[in-house]
């Protein structure tokens, strides 16, 4: 009886060891999100697309980018929020696209 128990215990330990010693497979692709949300502008021009920003959120994005006195804020047919604003005392036209990029008209 004792010998059978020892044999069963030894078999269980030896069969579990290889499974416990295996490494996880290496990751096959890059570990990044589908959308780059680094907080930096990733476009030099507004990108057309379905925009989910509210008017208040678009205004906040513009102000966070250093603009003040944001007026005439409207969403156009391309889904881009457009407004007039001041930066450094100079008036300019600005836009916020669906990715959150804030661009000034050049």
More confident residue, 23 or 71: 71
Q: What is the pLDDT of residue 63?
A: 96
- Every domain of the chain and the residues it spans: 47-106
DSSP state of 94: E
Using the predicted structure, report yes or no on whether residue 73 has a pLDDT greater than 90.
yes
Using the predicted structure, report yes or no on whether residue 92 has a pLDDT greater than 80.
yes
pLDDT band at 72 (very low <50, low <70, confident <90, very high): very high
Q: pLDDT of 22-62, one tens digit each?
A: 677 666 666 655 555 555 556 666 777 777 889 999 999 99
Q: What is the pLDDT of residue 50?
A: 79
């Amino acid at each position: 009886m004792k010998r059978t128990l020892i044999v069963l215990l030894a078999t269980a330990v030896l069969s579990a060891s290889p499974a416990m010693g295996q490494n996880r497979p290496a990751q096959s692709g890059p570990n990044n999100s589908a959308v780059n949300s680094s907080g930096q502008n990733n476009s030099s021009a507004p990108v057309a697309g379905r925009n989910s920003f509210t008017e208040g959120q678009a205004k906040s994005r513009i102000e966070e980018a250093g603009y003040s006195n944001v007026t005439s804020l409207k969403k156009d047919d391309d889904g881009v929020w457009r407004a007039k604003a001041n930066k450094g005392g100079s008036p300019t036209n600005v836009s916020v696209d669906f990715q959150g990029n804030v661009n000034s008209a050049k």
